[in-house]
Amino acid sequence: MARRVMVVGGGGREHALVRHLAASPRNPEIFALPGNPGTRALARNLPGDPLDRNQVLAACREHAIDLVLIGPEDPLIAGLADHLRHAGIAVFGPGHLGARLEGDKEFAKDVLATAGIPTPSYHAFSTLDAALRHLATMTMPCVVKACGAAQGKGVAVCDAKSEAAAHLRLCLEDRAFGDAGARVLIEECLFGRELSVLVVTDGQDYALLAPSRDHKRVGEGGTGGNTGGMGAFAPVPLTAELCRRIDTEIVAPLLAELVRRDIPYRGVLYAGLMLTDTGPQVLEFNCRFGDPETQVVLPLMDCDFLELVQTTATGRLADYLQGLPDAETGGPDGWPGRGLTDWRRGAVVVVAASRGYPGPYQTGRPLELPADEPAAWVIHAGTGERDGRLVTAGGRVVGCVGEGADLATARSRAYALLDRVRCDNLFHRRDIALDAERTTA
Ligand code: AMP
Ligand code: GLY
């Protein structure tokens, strides 16, 4: 079993990953590259750029790392997992072929179409003229998406044609997202509630973690611009029938299609779904853990997270799953990976962000955080240090996590902790997980 584990990345998701690896009874030694002030309490932070594959490999060699978990999408899309695997290191995270599901939305659409998985209809364009001509024939609303990974800014849900045309110009004419916007999808807009499903797979077997929901808009009631996520909760109460459809209509055919295409995948595949009146549809895939979904899904795990990561990275997930209890508390009958996460409990994260986010914001403001408690703790996302003192250093600064016997308890713990964060430049949404306990059919 791995003893020296590296987490690549330095945001809230990576702090959560480090925290749950550190809870392993196997007492691993954990490294974070580059990590953040939150990971420093549990891991050794190593300087380095996750996009510099040789630097990451050199750090692995220097510290005799035997297992690497890659957090963010950019290094995965750039092939960091392939590079480390080639050097003999076990990696949790897909190679560049699998990461294309996130890095190339047109490719993802092709995989979905071949696998017969429900997804909004679309057209792809690489010239502004052709895209605008198509737009003229459409009824609104529609969704315009840069095909490549654009740091979460490539998607615009448009009510008016003028808005859609502006986003098309931003991508195709201004090249605001560089090559990531050189090709664009214009997609049918779906309505319903969103759901994040995290599938852990080693390419042969798979398990689903408890479903979660992110709150993407900056404003209360789901208003204002899209953000990286202002809060999340898990589990989302779903009917057994909906769980069955998610597994049989989406996850199983997707993984079968990856096998058919000879695309190896060891890591987590995040399916972003819209639950529509006619059933679940795929809006997007990510090739990594969700941020901030990870912060609320991992606290529901009763099992050793390190062992899950290790068996997945080494192609032995089946061994791990065999040892799981078939607990009724871990999802409906037949849910793959039942017993992995406890669906009776609840976890909620509320993000405190710098004023102005997702637009321009100030950083470097003094920050004081409350101490962690057994059922509520602070996850660092955009924090830094100046003269030995904690300061804000990003848009999403910290996430306050609460867990409990149900979502309402988890929610009140998260907000009680957030009330004790001291900083003069933060704001948060007060409605995270507010209607969480309503079951979605
Ligand atoms: P993506 O980066 O593809 O996840 O898109 C970001 C967000 O845009 C999603 O989480 C949804 O809230 C929204 N979105 C994307 N595609 C659609 C669609 N076809 N219909 C409605 N909303 C969408
Ligand atoms: N929470 C959305 C994402 O991780 O992409």
Ligand nearest to the CA of 276: 1
Residue 293 beta carbon below 6 angstroms from any ligand 2 atom: yes
- 327 DSSP 8-state letter: -
* Cα–Cα distance list, 277 to 25, 242, 281, 333, 440 (Å): 44, 11, 10, 23, 11
Per-residue pLDDT band at 327 (split at 50, 70, 90): confident
- 149 CA → ligand 2 middle, Å: 12
Mind listing the pLDDT tens digit for each residue in 191-227? 999 999 999 999 999 999 999 999 999 999 989 888 9
- pLDDT category at 1 given cuts 50, 70, 90 is low
CA 265, CA 107: separation in Å to the nearest integer?
Answer: 16
Q: Which atom of ligand 1 is nearest to the CA of 283?
A: 16
Q: DSSP readout, 3-61?
A: -EEEEEE-SHHHHHHHHHHHT-TT--EEEEEE--TTGGGTSEE----TT-HHHHHHHHH
Minimum CA distance residue for ligand 2 atom 3: 290
Separation CA 367–CA 28 (nearest Å): 30
Give the residue among 397, 190, 206, 208 at the shortest CA–CA distance from 283: 190
Atom in ligand 1 nearest the alpha carbon of residue 188? 19
Segment 284-314, tens digit of pLDDT: 999 999 999 999 999 999 889 999 999 999 9
Distance 134 CA to ligand 2 centre (A): 29
Among 272, 290, 292, smallest CA distance to 282 is for 272
**Amino acid identity, position 11:** G
Q: What is the DSSP string of 337-365?
A: TTTSB-TTSEEEEEEEEETTTTS------
Mean pLDDT of all residues belonging to the chain:
95
Q: What is the mean pLDDT of residues 313-333?
A: 88
Minimum CA distance residue for ligand 2 atom 5:
290
Ligand approaching nearest to the C-alpha of 213: 2
Stretch 171-188: mean pLDDT, rounded? 96
Q: 283 in ligand 1 pocket by Cβ < 6 Å? A: yes
CATH architecture of structural domain 346-438: Alpha-Beta Complex (3.90)
Question: In angstroms, rounded to a whole number, what is the distance separating the alpha carbons of residues 278 and 298?
Answer: 30
Is the CB of residue 216 below 6 angstroms from any atom belonging to ligand 1? yes
Cα 79 to Cα 37, 119, 201, distances in angstroms: 27, 27, 18
Rounded Cα distance between 151 and 167, Å, is 15
What residues does each domain of the chain span?
Answer: 4-95, 121-188, 193-340, 346-438
User: Which of 166, 173, 158, 8 is CA-nearest to residue 76?
Assistant: 8
Strand partners, 200: 207, 268
Q: Tens digits of per-residue pLDDT, 389-406?
A: 999 999 999 999 999 999
Looking at residues 400-428, what average pLDDT do you find? 97
Distances (CA, A) of 355 to 151, 322, 367, 394: 20, 47, 14, 10
Q: Is 291 in the pocket of ligand 2 (CB under 6 A)?
A: yes
Q: Which residue minimizes the CA distance to atom 3 of ligand 1?
A: 284
Backbone angles phi, psi at 12, to 5 degrees: -65, -45
* Nearest bound ligand to the CA of residue 154: 1
- The CA 270 to ligand 1 mean position distance, Å, reads 14
Looking only at the bridges linking them, the beta strands covering 346-354 and 396-404 are antiparallel
131 touches 168 (CB < 8 A): yes
**Residue from 196, 213, 230 whose mutation best tests the ligand 2 pocket (most atoms within 8 A of CB):** 196
Which residues touch 296 (CB under 8 Å, ≥6 apart)?
Answer: 212, 232, 233, 234, 347, 348, 349, 401
121-188: which CATH architecture?
A: 2-Layer Sandwich (3.30)
User: Which atom of ligand 2 is nearest the CA belonging to 229?
Assistant: 1
Give, in order, the Cα–Cα distances in Å from 221 to each of 224, 233, 433. 9, 15, 11
Q: Could you give the CA distance from residue 147 to residue 11 in angstroms, rounded to a whole number?
A: 24
Distance 229 CA to ligand 1 centre (A): 13
How confident is the model over 29-74, as pLDDT tens digits? 999 999 999 999 999 999 999 999 999 999 999 999 999 999 999 9
Mean pLDDT of 340-366: 96
- Find tokens 């090739």 and name the residue: 287
Quote the DSSP letter at residue 143. Answer: E
Helix (H, G, I), strand (E, B) or coil at 439: coil
Q: How far is the CA of 133 from the centre of ligand 2 (A)?
A: 32
pLDDT at 241: 95
Q: How far is the CA of 362 from the centre of ligand 2 (A)?
A: 23
Q: What is the pLDDT of residue 338?
A: 85
Question: 143 CB less than 6 Å from ligand 1?
Answer: yes
Is the pLDDT score of 151 beyond 90? no
Check the CA dihedral 299-304-310-311 and report its sign: negative
**pLDDT (0 to 100) of residue 252:** 97
Q: How many CB atoms lie within 10 A of CB 318?
A: 11
> Which pLDDT score is estimated for 350?
98
For the chain, what is the total number of helices (H) and then of strands (E)?
Answer: 14, 23
Region 349-378: what's the mean pLDDT?
97
**CATH of 193-340 given 3.30.470.20, 3.30.70.270, 3.10.129.10, 3.40.50.300:** 3.30.470.20
Q: What is the DSSP annotation of 253-309?
A: HHHHHHHHTT----EEEEEEEEEETTEEEEEEEESS--TTHHHHHGGGB-S-HHHHH
Instruction: Evaluate whether 390 touches 433 at the Cβ level (below 8 Å).
Output: no
**Domain 4-95 class, CATH top level:** alpha beta
Mutation to probe ligand 2, out of 17, 291, 379 (largest number of atoms < 8 A from CB): 291
- For the chain, what is the radius of gyration of the CA atoms? 21
Handedness of CA 33, 258, 86, 92 (dihedral sign): positive
